[in-house]
């Protein structure tokens, strides 16, 4: 047998001494150090090609990760105790947080589900309960009463856009992917007229400011102007479906108890007794791509269209001639909007920018580019004052001052992409339709006012594409539409105290 040399034996003894010394130090510190020391010894006893220093570093990192998780677990337990204590105290005072008892409510209601479904529901309930409890500490003065008044059902595909007439009779217009546009009685929900002139998806609908004319944009690369004549039917009484919600808590907050099998997925019979218009008064042809949006300029003598060919076109209504082609965006346009009282146009694009076009001086057509978002700008709209509100797929909405647009004066951050927004003229409220089927309301300073009801019985079941306000004295003052093939009319009541703020 080979004889171990004196130097190697001394080195081995020294190593054992260092090892035993380090173990004794670890044992005298704490349980945490004992555990890390044992793990280190186990690694040292294993055959590995990793250098000792690298293994020690790995052990230290794993120990730190374990401590972080342990701290989070302890903090979670303490928070649960605080929540239970707070709920007990509020219960004694006659109040309670709905959904605070996670185990009782969730387990009882979901006992018949499978194990995987139960697990998912518990996660959802826990998330909803924590958001409710946190939001409950907000001010209680921001209260809004939102009432679902009526549903407008008849389209065979998703509804992209909707608008309300500016003249009498006041009707609702919808633009759908089923190649049609429909006019509805706001009070009865009955279809009054159907436009069948497009050969592609109808992506936008806007009404003339003074005459009974509609402007629609389509995937067939055209925009149509067509006249309509409707007679309003006698309104029928409806059941009260009001739901009071506030910024504190909505009873159906984050309720995802929806089936993927949509009720509207079946064949929905459209209104067969509805009269139709098949021929446009004026057809605007200049784009080389989908026309995604269109709007009337103030006065109604010109219209602007936005297309996926990266250009916006300005047309003369009487002659159908192209007046200006507004180019400069690097990617497809998503929306266009005109100022209610001035010759200003704002266009938004997938290139993360929106542009302000000024036609107030006939000899000068200036343009300003604004880069405030990090993803597609889905819409940008004017308000009555000197503000522009922009929404984006980056889950933010920003309020800008036309006099100084270097930076937004307010930023609203949400949890889902924002689609075509609208601003109430009288109440100065922003309605935000989302991809996650929510519709939220904010004021111009970015304070959340309410979220529209959404449950298995009411609200949208698919992505909400657009919202629009009605300032006339009707039963509904807000409308929303989505890919569940329906438009919904809401009555929004904001307290006077909140409007003054």
CATH number of the domain at 329, please: 2.130.10.10
Does residue 340 fall inside a structural domain?
yes
Does residue 11 fall inside a structural domain?
no
pTM of the model: 0.67
Q: What is the pLDDT along the chain (501 residues), one digit of tens a residue?
A: 444 455 455 555 554 544 444 443 343 344 555 555 655 565 556 667 788 888 888 888 888 898 888 888 998 898 888 888 888 888 776 654 444 444 444 434 444 444 555 555 555 555 544 444 444 444 434 467 888 999 999 999 999 999 999 888 999 999 999 999 999 999 999 999 999 999 999 999 999 999 999 999 999 999 999 999 988 887 655 544 443 333 333 333 444 444 444 444 444 444 557 899 999 999 999 999 999 999 999 999 999 999 999 999 999 999 999 999 999 999 999 999 999 999 999 999 999 999 999 998 877 778 899 989 999 999 999 987 789 999 999 999 999 998 887 889 999 999 999 999 999 988 889 999 999 999 999 999 999 999 998 876 778 999 999 999 998 877 889 999 999 999 999 999 877 544 544
Strands (E), 278-353: 282-284, 291-296, 302-307, 311-316, 322-327, 333-338, 344-349
Does residue 246 fall inside a structural domain?
yes
Confidence at residue 120, expressed as pLDDT on a 0 to 100 scale = 58
Chain mean position to CA 363: 40
Confidence at residue 406, expressed as pLDDT on a 0 to 100 scale = 83
Token digits of residue 17: 């001494």
Distance CA 116, CA 113 (A): 8
Does residue 65 fall inside a structural domain?
no
Token digits of residue 264: 């509207």
Distance CA 217, CA 291 (A): 5
Confidence at residue 38, expressed as pLDDT on a 0 to 100 scale = 58
Provide the domain count of the chain.
1
Confidence at residue 35, expressed as pLDDT on a 0 to 100 scale = 57
Token digits of residue 13: 């003894």
Does residue 83 fall inside a structural domain?
no
| Distances in whole angstroms, Cα of residue 421 to Cα of each of 6, 56, 57, 447 | 84, 56, 52, 16
Does residue 211 fall inside a structural domain?
yes
Strands (E), 131-218: 143-153, 159-164, 171-176, 181-185, 191-195, 202-207, 213-218
Distance CA 395, CA 421 (A): 12
Distance CA 223, CA 314 (A): 12
Residue 423 is part of which domain span?
145-498
CA angle 150/151/155 to nearest 5° reads 155
Q: How many helices (H) and strands (E) does the chain have?
A: 6, 30
Residue with tokens 């009487």: 318
Residue 417 near residue 382, CB atoms below 8 Å: no
Confidence at residue 87, expressed as pLDDT on a 0 to 100 scale = 84
Confidence at residue 84, expressed as pLDDT on a 0 to 100 scale = 86
With CA atoms as reference, report the closest residue to 477 among 459, 491, 464, 493: 491
Does residue 245 fall inside a structural domain?
yes
Q: Which residues pair with 338 in a beta bridge?
A: 345
Token digits of residue 11: 């080195």
Token digits of residue 156: 């065979």
Does residue 72 fall inside a structural domain?
no
Q: Element (H or E) spanning 133, and its range?
A: helix 115-135
């Amino acid at each position: 047998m080979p004889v171990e040399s004196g130097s190697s034996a001394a080195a081995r003894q020294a190593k054992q001494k260092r090892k035993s010394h380090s173990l004794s130090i670890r044992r005298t510190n704490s349980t945490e150090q004992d555990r890390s020391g044992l793990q280190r010894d186990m690694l040292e006893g294993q055959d590995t090609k990793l250098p000792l220093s690298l293994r020690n570093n790995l052990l230290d990192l794993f120990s730190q990760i374990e401590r972080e998780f342990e701290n989070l677990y302890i903090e979670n337990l303490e928070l649960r105790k605080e929540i239970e204590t707070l709920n007990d105290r509020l219960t004694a005072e006659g109040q309670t947080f709905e959904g605070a008892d996670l185990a009782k409510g969730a387990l009882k209601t979901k006992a018949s589900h499978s194990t995987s479904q139960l697990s998912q529901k518990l996660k959802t309930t826990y998330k909803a309960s924590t958001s409710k409890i946190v939001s409950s500490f907000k001010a209680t003065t921001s209260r809004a009463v939102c009432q679902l008044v009526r549903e407008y059902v008849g389209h065979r595909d998703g509804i992209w856009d909707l608008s309300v007439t500016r003249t009498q009779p006041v009707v609702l217009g919808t633009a759908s992917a089923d190649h049609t546009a429909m006019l509805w009685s706001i009070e009865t929900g009955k279809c009054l007229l159907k436009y069948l002139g497009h050969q592609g998806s109808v992506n936008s609908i806007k009404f003339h400011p003074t005459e009974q004319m509609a402007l629609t944009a389509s995937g067939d690369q055209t925009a149509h102007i067509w006249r309509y004549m409707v007679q309003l039917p006698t309104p029928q009484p409806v059941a009260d479906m009001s739901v009071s919600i506030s910024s504190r808590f909505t009873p159906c907050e984050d309720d995802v108890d929806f089936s993927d099998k949509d009720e509207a997925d079946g064949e929905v019979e459209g209104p067969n007794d509805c009269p139709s218009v098949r021929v446009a008064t004026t057809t605007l042809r200049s784009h080389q791509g989908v026309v995604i949006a269109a709007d009337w300029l103030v006065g109604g003598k010109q219209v602007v269209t936005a297309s996926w060919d990266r250009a916006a076109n300005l047309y003369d209504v009487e002659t159908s001639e192209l007046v200006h082609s507004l180019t400069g965006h690097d990617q497809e346009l998503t929306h266009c909007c005109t100022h209610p009282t001035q010759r200003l146009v704002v266009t938004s694009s997938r290139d993360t920018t929106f542009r302000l076009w000024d036609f107030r001086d006939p000899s000068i057509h200036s343009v300003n580019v604004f880069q405030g978002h990090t993803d597609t700008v889905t819409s940008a709209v004017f308000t009555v004052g000197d503000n522009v509100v922009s929404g984006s797929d980056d889950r933010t909405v920003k309020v800008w001052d036309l006099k100084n647009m270097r930076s937004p004066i307010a930023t609203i951050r949400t949890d889902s992409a924002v689609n075509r927004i609208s601003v109430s003229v009288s109440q100065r409220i922003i309605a935000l339709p989302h991809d996650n089927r929510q519709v939220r309301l904010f004021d111009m300073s970015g304070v959340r006012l309410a979220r529209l009801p959404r449950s298995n019985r009411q609200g949208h079941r698919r992505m909400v594409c657009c919202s629009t306000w009605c300032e006339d004295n009707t039963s509904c003052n807000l409308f929303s539409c989505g890919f569940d093939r329906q438009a919904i009319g809401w009555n929004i009541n904001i307290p006077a105290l909140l409007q003054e703020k």
